[in-house]
Structure 1
Amino acid sequence: MYMNQPYSGYPGGQPPAISPDVQGWFQAVDKDRSGQISWEELQAALINGQGEHFSPTACKLMISMFDTDRTGTIGINEFQLLYNYINQWLGVFKNYDRDQSGSIEEPELAQAFQQMGFRFSEDFVKFLIAKSDLKNHQKMSVDQFIVACIQIQRFTEAFREKDKELKGEITVTFEEFLGIALNCST
């Protein structure tokens, strides 16, 4: 299971009513009172299980996913979608962080991906952790987990577009590969 891509439209053209909790969080995060939240404001508000702020990569990625008007910021309606999205991922993360350490170690991450339908090798899971945990290559924080899952989801969708016969293999030119990589990493 993986989270759906952010919703780009609203049923009936109307955004849902903003919950009081979301309104309170939005006001707390919107430090400059612009009515918009930048990735920097989001980063200042989000702390992972190690007591560190979410990475710039995670915050930029999440803002870009919900920034429907492409201003580099999100308003309160977009923030409500992001708030719900983050809470969904926190639920998934906590489900696999069995020892409640605030991070996911290799066996927990391997199980999470397996239950999401991915059959990654032990070496690939180690690679993902090493890529995300530059300090000691042993664990993945919630923000790193979110980034990895989003990137894997994007690449999976791009792969499926090319794998018309569902063989699990594709042939692409170098330019096609670069296009896929660049589209999936923004």
Structure 2
Amino acid sequence: MAFKEFLTQYSRLEICNLTPDALTEDALSYWNTIKFDGGWRRGSTAGGCRNNPNTFWINPQYKITLLEEDDDPDDNELACSFLVALMQKDRRRYRRQGQDMHTIGFAVYEYKGCQNVHLKKDFFLTHGSCARSETFINLREVSTRLRLPPGEYIIVPSTFEPSKEADFVLRVFTEKQSETEELDEQVTADLEDEEEMTEDDVEDSFKAMFQQLAGEDMEISVHELRTILNRVVGRLYSQKDGSARLGLVEFQILWNKIRKWLGIFRQYDLDKSGTMSSYEMRLALESAGFKLNNKINQVLVARYADKDMIDFDNFISCIVKLEVMFRFFKHIDTDGTGTAEMTLTEVSSGTRAHARKEGTNPVTNWTGREKD
């Protein structure tokens, strides 16, 4: 077929399964390629597009550092060419279940001096995008070729609407050398030292309240504690003395922690409804001292959220279990390397054995709702 006839008969040509590599005269021109597998999960990492400023920041974020400008003698512009391709996975399989393709796209932000941490809402409220996909569209893949000056940039892939779940593949092709990585938190916990207290340190007013609640034996059982805290506490299995009861000092320490966590919860319960949005869970846990990555946040929201909302019961349950696990890991990671080996016996006994051995404070091992 002659080329002129081809142009007459066809208006669009799609080429599949080829990289951007192209022939330049007699030499091959290769592109650098990097691929990321990610996902949007309702309540934790599915924030929607820039039209949703309160949740856009929770989408997965990827940093690209453009190091060298293009070698184009006919172009006086100092710029780096790169191609961003976003593909949603397995949607054709879900089409059989009546689900169509999600509307997807991405935005690119310039950020100098990025510290390799997940950017928060304030950044996106005060910075506009420097590039974006040509459109948000319900196709399997969206791709756009961009040219930007050398520097550091953040790519944020998203669905158009929030709370749309899907897995995706993000590919970045660059003509010149570049550095690309996912922006995510390093998992850490700022655990306070266990509070040391004697009965002499407890205020008289608190002693009187405790005596009224505890009765003649001056100890509070699990069932009494559950009633006192309005079903916030549902299960206790370790205290400093190894029993299933709280003494005056133990209850004072527990009470202090509950007041601290209640203050954090109220800070993110914006409408004072007794629940907070699961999209705020990451920030609330950071306020409590826990920095967690996307994968852990997805698991926690799936575990503790109900219709994208988290009540105080579940918030406390989540914090308590996180504190237990971090303290247990710190105990077995004797070298402080961030990795640890456990025997089958240690895995089986878990944090219960550690708590009894170390005398863990009771607040570090109770939950507000019985769950597997």
TM-score normalized by the length of structure 2:
0.38
1:7 maps to 2:180: no
Q: Is the 8 A contact 1:3 1:89 kept in 2?
A: no
Cα distance in 2, alignment partners of residues 44 and 83 from structure 1: 14
Cα distance change, pair 102–26 in 1 and its aligned pair in 2 (3 A): same
**CA drift at 1:16:** 0.8
Cα distance in 2, alignment partners of residues 180 and 69 from structure 1: 18
Cα distance in 1, alignment partners of residues 211 and 197 from structure 2: 23
Cα distance in 1, alignment partners of residues 346 and 269 from structure 2: 37
* Two-structure CA RMSD over aligned residues (Å): 3.1
SS at match of 1:54: coil
1:119 alignment partner in structure 2: 292
Could you tell me which amino acid in structure 2 is paired with residue 125 of structure 1? N
SS at match of 2:293: coil
Q: Which moved more, 1:82-91 or 1:174-183?
A: 174-183
Could you tell me which amino acid in structure 2 is paired with residue 29 of structure 1? L
Cα deviation per residue 1:148-171 (whole Å; 9 max; x = unaligned)? 2122122223333427353x4444
SS at match of 2:253: helix
1:97 maps to 2:254: no
Residue-pair matches, total = 166
Cα distance in 2, alignment partners of residues 55 and 137 from structure 1: 22
**CA drift at 1:182:** 4.3
2:312 alignment partner in structure 1: 142
Cα distance in 2, alignment partners of residues 109 and 88 from structure 1: 16
Aligned partner (choices 219, 239, 247) of residue 75 of structure 1: 247
Q: Is the 8 A contact 2:190 2:290 kept in 1?
A: no
2:120 alignment partner in structure 1: none
Q: Is the 8 A contact 2:197 2:249 kept in 1?
A: no
Q: Is the 8 A contact 1:15 1:77 kept in 2?
A: no
Cα distance change, pair 17–158 in 1 and its aligned pair in 2 (3 A): closer
SS at match of 1:15: helix
**CA drift at 1:111:** 1.2
| Greater fraction of residues in strand | 2
Aligned partner (choices 46, 64, 79) of residue 229 of structure 2: 46
Q: List aligned pairs for 1:7-46, cutoff 5 A.
A: 7=195, 10=198, 15-20=200-205, 22-30=206-214, 32-46=215-229
Larger radius of gyration: 2
1:50 alignment partner in structure 2: none
Q: Which segments of 5 or more consecutive residues in structure 1 lack a partner in the other structure?
A: 48-52
**CA drift at 1:3:** 5.9
Q: Is the 8 A contact 2:279 2:308 kept in 1?
A: no
2:335 alignment partner in structure 1: 164
Cα distance change, pair 3–164 in 1 and its aligned pair in 2 (3 A): closer
Cα distance change, pair 27–138 in 1 and its aligned pair in 2 (3 A): farther
Q: List aligned pairs for 1:47-62, cutoff 5 A.
A: 47=230, 53-57=231-235, 60=236
Cα deviation per residue 1:56-109 (whole Å; 9 max; x = unaligned)? 12xx26xx44xx333422233332222222212212222233332222322211
Could you tell me which amino acid in structure 2 is paired with residue 141 of structure 1? D
Cα distance change, pair 8–71 in 1 and its aligned pair in 2 (3 A): farther
SS at match of 1:82: helix
**CA drift at 1:130:** 3.3
| Greater fraction of residues in helix | 1
1:155 alignment partner in structure 2: 325
**CA drift at 1:118:** 1.2
Cα distance change, pair 114–72 in 1 and its aligned pair in 2 (3 A): closer
**CA drift at 1:141:** 2.4
Cα distance change, pair 179–8 in 1 and its aligned pair in 2 (3 A): farther
SS at match of 1:140: strand
TM-score normalized by the length of structure 1:
0.68
**CA drift at 1:40:** 0.8
